[in-house]
Chain A
Amino acid sequence: MITENDRRFMHLEKKIGFFVAVAIVGFIAVIFFIGTDQDLFIQKYRLKFTVEKGTGFSRGMPVKLSGFRIGRINSISLNETAMVDIEIQIGKKYQKWIKNDSVVKLVKEGLMGDNIIEVSVGTRDAEALKDGALITFEKTRGLEEVANDIADKFKPVLIEVKDIISYVNDPNGDIKQSMNNIRELSADLHSTRTKIDALLADSTQKVGHLSADTETLLKISRDKIDAIGPVLEKVDRSMTTVEQKLPQLLDKTVTTMDHLEKTSRNLETITNKTVPRVPVLLNSAEDSLQRADTVMDALKDIWPLKSHVPVPREREREFVPGDSHE
């Protein structure tokens, strides 16, 4: 027979009872926490809205107001018009802020966060939405759309940047050529500077020589100027003579000019008388020539001369001389 002397079995009933109680309490606590997390223990009401596409929405997705979760998406279903009906469950205690002018939006939490439904707070005077009411859904642009929009805006800029880079990198382009030219110019400048340095050194040397030459030249010039003195005196004397004789010379010139004028006048008179007669004289000369021609023609036909003058018939048959090797 088993006795109850083993100490491990002493107060066994109490111990089992304690463990069972702890387990039950733990289980209740877990259920409580899960229920709290799943909003099982709060009073809720439902709101509905319709969207064109269900993309981005999922069942259980949090619904937030001013950053606080106030509910979840309860159901998502496709309606008869091929649009998507979404029902959300929100805690009853938040109903006072959700008015008939409140809107819901599908947004992202941060740049890389999950999608959530954000409910805006309605105006103070507006009526609170009741259970099962429709709330307005405001479509927001998704990240992809924003990115596309940005891409569309940036594309021309990027193309231009690409063109600019190509233009800059083109070996035959202006910039590269200019750079090459600048490089060559710098090289040339370097050599030019070397030459200028040499030139300056040379010039300095030459200026030294030049100053010496100038000094010599000045000395020679001074000597020459000294020598010019007597010459100038002679010129002065000559000028005095010229001054004395010039009036007589001018008088003579005036007289000569008078004579010349008279001669010109006479010549003009003669010309005026002669010129009208020139055509008459020419006509007479022409007539005389014609008469001489006639006389010559007559003479050619006279016996002693006739044999020495070509017969006109022969003259008539005169050709431009021919040549077999033209």
Chain B
Amino acid sequence: MCLSREREKESLSPVTAMNDTLRKGRVRGRLFLAALLLLSTAGCAGKSPEALSASHLEAIRHNQSGIKAEARGENPRALEEFSEALRINSSIENSEGIIVALVNISRVHRRIGDAKAALAMVSRALPRVIPSAPLYPEVAFEMAQVQLLSGDLNASSEWASNAVAADTGSQRGMRINLLARILFLKGKLTEAEIKVREALLLNRENGLRGEEANSLRTLGDIQSAGKRHAEAAEYYNQALAIDKTVGRSRKIAADLRALAALALLHGDSDEALGFYRRAFTVNSTGGDLSGAAEDLLNMSRIHGKRGEKELSERLLAERDNLLRNLRTP
């Protein structure tokens, strides 16, 4: 048999022999790569030492579902999801999860306008977090906003300052923006302007476009309060341009309303009406019916002042109709 093989070898041509050698080489190479991959996978694979439990993951899933529901404007659904996340996190004593759920529930209540419920939730979150904890800035920021909604400007500015002091991350610009807005509302225009300019730089640096627009809007408000109307209009227009890019209807409407108020200060009621009309269209098509109703009320007032009684009453009737629709579930 060996003899026959040798005869076969002898009978093969040199080209065939070379091809055979190359084929064998390729096979070996593939085998080597496969072994290397297997080794690397075996060495680096495996479960992470910080693997989360199913309950933990379930709580996270509910939290994320709540965030998505809130973004869609489904507030009752969002509250359900966050409450479920809170329940699961409580059942496994997951402190961070509890804090996040409480802050998120507070945020939804606050956006609905229920300051009392929001305060109850964020007050439950505060004792669970120390100022050096990574979650503290968010909790303090939420508390500041709840106090602002409740009308307590002093408490609000205190919590906003705490949030700013504790945050060194990318959200710092947002916290300073809030503080600047509270200072503006307290009538401390100079301090507010210093803060908001700092926030503007930080927000631009961190690419927070929405907060950049917020900074510009606050700057517009400060200029308007200082009767520097041209500068104010410039800031409002810049904010409007950014909000349009980001695509935030409520903020676009807010910019347009600010421009309308500025036009009224100039005594240009036609221009003001134009801005309010645009704000009304943005709000009504963007789903903010209460904002749209407010725009109609503003337009009605302008027509009323101009002596256009019929037009004014028609707009008021339209507003009443809109509010009725809003109350009807």
Contact = CB atoms under 8 A, between A and B. Distances in A.
Interface of A: 297-298, 301-303, 306, 312-313, 315-326
Nearest to A302: B45
B108 A320 contact: yes
Contacts of B48: 301, 306
Given A312-B60, A316-B100, A322 B217 contact: no
A319 B178 contact: no
Given A316-B63, A319-B104, A319-B107, A324 B177 contact: yes
B25 interface: no
Contact of A312 (B56, B78, B100, B142): B56
B60 A319 contact: no
B214 A323 contact: yes
Contact of B51 (A301, A315, A326): A301
Q: Which of B60, B94, B111 has the most A CB atoms < 10 Å from its CB?
A: B60
B181 A324 contact: yes
B34 to A, nearest CB: 16
A315 to B, nearest CB: 5
Interface string B32-71: 0000000011001111101110001101100110110011
B319 interface: no
B304 interface: no
Q: Which of A297, A303, A306, A323 has the most B CB atoms < 10 Å from its CB?
A: A323
A326 B110 contact: yes
17 contacts: A301-B51, A302-B45, A303-B41, A306-B48, A316-B60, A316-B97, A317-B134, A318-B67, A318-B100, A320-B67, A321-B67, A321-B71, A323-B214, A324-B214, A325-B177, A325-B181, A325-B251
B70 A320 contact: yes
A321 B107 CA distance: 9
Contacts of A313: 50
A317 B103 CA distance: 11
Nearest to B218: A325
A319 B134 CA distance: 13
A269 to B, nearest CB: 42
B102 to A, nearest CB: 11
Nearest to A300: B48
Contacts of B100: 316-319
Contact of B57 (A312, A319, A324, A326): A312
B175 interface: yes
Interface string B91-111: 000101100100110011011
Contacts of A316: 56, 59-60, 63, 94, 96-97, 100
Given A301-B51, A324-B174, A325-B177, A317 B104 contact: no
Nearest to B178: A324
Contacts of A317: 96, 100, 134-135
Given A319-B103, A325-B217, A303 B44 contact: yes
A324 B175 contact: yes
Given A301-B48, A312-B56, A313-B50, A320 B174 contact: no
Contacts of A303: 40-41, 44-45
B283 interface: no
B246 to A, nearest CB: 11
Contacts of B70: 320
8 closest A-B pairs by CB? A324-B177, A303-B44, A324-B178, A325-B214, A320-B107, A312-B52, A320-B104, A302-B45
A313 B96 CA distance: 9
B171 interface: yes
Interface string B61-85: 0011011001100000010000000
Nearest to B61: A315
A67 to B, nearest CB: 92
A301 B47 contact: yes
B193 interface: no
Contact of B211 (A302, A306, A324): A324
A316 B94 CA distance: 10
A324 B71 CA distance: 16
A314 B211 CA distance: 22
Contacts of A318: 60, 63-64, 67, 100
A319 B67 CA distance: 7
A319 B174 CA distance: 14
B145 interface: yes
A233 B27 CA distance: 92
B247 to A, nearest CB: 14
Given A301-B51, A324-B214, A315 B251 contact: no
A317 B129 CA distance: 13
A315 B47 CA distance: 18
Contacts of B104: 319-320
A298 B40 CA distance: 17
B67 to A, nearest CB: 6
A318 B134 CA distance: 12
A321 B251 CA distance: 15
Contacts of A306: 48
B54 to A, nearest CB: 9
A204 B104 CA distance: 84
B45 to A, nearest CB: 5
